[in-house]
Structure 1
């Protein structure tokens, strides 16, 4: 099956859809009226959702390459989108400090999760439960029960502003990164810190698990990608090649590739195990803010 890699640069509202084995864009979407900072594929890979500072979420059919509607409700900048892998829901968060849950088939908002006191920068669904994690500039990580529409746990241990978070594939661990240049692993059932990784010399912009849960990939404004052995607690490899700060990474569903986007307007595709750059995508006229593989 074909894998797609979608990225958004954040100035003129352009979202580019790529096939990973071609250097030319498959499709350019330009519905947004401003910056685009978040994109997400549905679990079946058929729907692409995009959001940005125009307060809108656009939906696209990846098969027909057509837009299929938009969602409205946010009162400010949308910073993160994520689909649930267990139910047909999309979660969104941003500068209005509200997490909104959307029914994609009905194209309507069905729930709101309230509690953060500052911008929401990241969201991650537990792959095995209807639990959503959120990270915020209010220096907390919160876990939410989607069914009961309430917060069930939070971390507020003076860890600083939280930008990226990511559940492990088995849902037992939550990874986070932030302005202190460190990556922390948390027990998802207790939110107790179980491991801490250091090494980046600037803000951590993204953390993602490999599909087998053995490797944690991180990107940073220090221009590097680090691959960490989760169980061994050590740095496996460092990938260098971007000339400006890294904003985002994405790991392919088969765990063989990692894509990265940065302020140098380029997307690089790497062999995850060998750490070798295998392809470069050039098409953006400004910095690449977010990148995402589809799941098929």
Structure 2
């Protein structure tokens, strides 16, 4: 399908190349009953006619403050806010721990705003030491290739799934299997409470309450993360479910499928919300953060798409030459993707072409007498930082540094791992990286690495002690 394939579907008059999402939206239950605040006044504020009048001195101070604000030029206001932000950063930097020591108790008021705008960047990549291969822990439990994994928000547990249909909960500290849900035969999902086909994707809610898994049998299963008991099954996709992501801070779930569509669900209510259409080939990956939108990789249609749910619109991005197999958001404004043409791309959500593109990121392989690039089968980003990881079947995982403004990809270290790297995840604190390894690719059996072990690998990440990590606003 050529790059202009979906242009014919775009609604006439849509500005900026935004094509409509062909779906109707449902109203959120209970929204009509919510009180609306008057402009500039909180909903719960009560105004009484018996309120005491303010004192003359208080009124004078307020008038003086208002006069000072009026006299302030735009340039002076920018300078004042910049000084305020730098002072907050200085105080925050003195109180925050080193990489891997967990998050500090408090954050400066401006930091959440910058994070929401995608402007907060933790500069940690330059201080990451080359991982020691002997420190890598290997956890065995799945009989067939590991296809996907997630880490609990508190970094204490890992959930993984496999082509054998099994689901395992691991304890990070001890490496023990805390819970195993075995795979079953097709048609036995109701009886044995597990998957009966390849599990291709999973996601965990940001509060750690729900786990979602998707399989080749078109099913999405919702689990209790504490007990590993299945809570619900979502049906509706017409082909394999290949991507899942919870919207941060909510129980809204996005799912992607080989049926070329994206669906939205409300897990807390066990409810279907809507379906989004646009991709011209199977959707192979999906991710989201706190905004009401998600990004998807469109396989061989050659596009990455940003779906804006409330606006019922989508933005289309072009850059890879092959099938785009994996994608992850770095922050609210930037993302990374990988394709079977061997390239890794950095994107800004305001530009339709990559900000940076690393071709042949994992080198070349000899395939049936032909030189081909190693496929990129997994990407990961340490959220709101400049540190990335990519996986292939090139016998290594690579760590990367994002250059200033996300306009450059600089290779850092190679971590030896034999087999297909089908999933990669950084811990929230950034002190370890987890890789899901298999003898085969997550989505097929084009090659088989016989010497590989179907396993979970925990890779410790250490930072140079002499240079504590810093946070800075992104200049892009």
Q: Which residue of 2 aligns with 1:34?
A: 197
1:21 aligned residue (169, 173, 179): 173
CA offsets 1:217-250 (integer angstroms, 9 cap, x no match): 111121311110112631111100x332221111
Matches within 5 A, 1:36-55: 36-55=199-218
User: Does residue 145 of structure 1 match 2:298?
Assistant: no
Sort the Cα spacing of 1:190 and 1:128 in 2 relative to 1 into closer, same or farther, 3 A: farther
Greater gyration radius:
2
Which residue matches 1:136? Answer: 298
- Would you tell me which structure has more helix in proportion to its own residues? 2
Q: TM-score, normalised by structure 1?
A: 0.86
- 1:134 Cα offset (Å): 0.8
Deviation at 1:84, TM superposition (A): 0.7
The answer to whether structure 1 residue 265 and structure 2 residue 454 are counterparts is yes
Q: Is the 1:4–1:17 Cα contact (8 Å) retained in structure 2?
A: yes
- Checking the alignment, whether the CA contact within 8 Å between 2:320 and 2:341 is kept in structure 1 is no
Q: CA RMSD in A?
A: 1.7
Give a deviation string over 1:122-163, Cα, whole Å, max 9, x none. 1111x3422211111211111111112321x10235632111
- 2:343 aligned to which of 172, 176, 182: 182
Equivalent in 392, 396, 400 of residue 228 of structure 1? 400
Contact 2:160-2:169 within 8 A present in 1 as well? yes
CA–CA separation in structure 2 for the residues paired with 1:222 and 1:249? 15
Aligned partners of 2:319, 2:345: CA distance in 1, in Å? 12
What's the offset of the Cα at 1:4? 1.2
Aligned ranges 1:238-277 → 2 under 5 Å: 238-240=414-416, 242-263=417-438, 264-273=453-462
Deviations 1:238-276 (A, max 9, x none): 100x332221111111111101121221111001237xx
Provide the secondary structure at the position in 2 that maps to 1:177.
strand
1:154 maps onto 2:329 in alignment? no
Equivalent pairs, count: 269
Q: Which runs of 5+ in 1 are unaligned?
A: 275-296
Aligned to 1:211: 383
Distance in 1, Cα, partners of 2:163 & 2:345? 28
Moved over 2 A (4+): 156-160
How many Å separate the matches in 1 of 2:319 and 2:378? 21
Indicate if the aligned counterparts of 1:86 and 1:129 stay in contact, CA closer than 8 A.
no
CA distance in 1 between counterparts of 2:386 and 2:319 reads 27
- Counterparts of 1:92-171 in structure 2, within 5 Å, are 92-125=255-288, 127-137=289-299, 138-151=301-314, 153-157=315-319, 159-169=321-331, 171=332
Q: Is the 8 A contact 2:319 2:353 kept in 1?
A: no
More strand by share: 1
- In the TM superposition, what is the alpha-carbon distance from 1:192 to its structure 2 partner? 2.9
Residue-by-residue CA offset, 1:29-77 (whole Å, 9 max, x unaligned):
2311111111111111111111111111111111233211111111111
Give TM-score, length-normalised by structure 2.
Answer: 0.54
SS of the residue corresponding to residue 134 of structure 1 reads: strand
Question: What secondary structure sits across from 2:176 in the alignment?
Answer: coil
- 1:99 partner SS: strand
2:206–2:250: 8 Å Cα contact kept in structure 1?
Answer: no
Contact 2:247 2:291 in 1 (8 A): no
Q: In structure 2, how many angstroms separate the alpha carbons of the residues matched to 1:158 and 1:214?
A: 21
The answer as to whether partners of 2:197 and 2:216 remain within 8 angstroms in 1 is yes
